[in-house]
Amino acid sequence: MRISDEIERDVIHLIVEKRLFSISKQTCDLVGNRLQEKYGCYFDKCLEHPEYLLDILSEAYGASAKNIVNQILDDLEQLSITPKIESFQTRLTKFVS
């Protein structure tokens, strides 16, 4: 069964947003607002452009961004079910390596 691109985007959107919200509502709002201001998108574009998320997290949290990315990767560990999601994980993993 082929999972649609829209579902893959939604999965990444929800995981990223949930993780940031678990840190704090302010963290989630800050990252979401910065994505909108700088790239004209929201968490729904993270699958295609993880570099946007990495850039905003690095700007906002410096070295601590790696901790946040590792938490997102932990959340994704169980969901490596599609090539696009696996590619997203690989690109994030390179950031924290």
Tens digit of each residue's pLDDT (9 = 90 or more) over 8-46? 889 889 999 999 999 999 999 999 999 999 999 999 899
Which of 61, 56, 60 is closest to 40 using CA atoms? 56
The token pair at 46 is 């993270």
Query: Phi-psi bin for 88: left (phi > 0), alpha (psi -120 to 50), beta?
Result: alpha
- Tens of pLDDT, residue by residue over 82-97, are 777 778 778 888 888 7
- Tens of pLDDT, residue by residue over 38-74, are 999 999 899 899 999 999 999 999 999 999 999 998 8
The token pair at 65 is 């961004």
- Which stretches within 1-97 are classed as H helix? 5-23, 25-39, 50-61, 65-76, 83-96
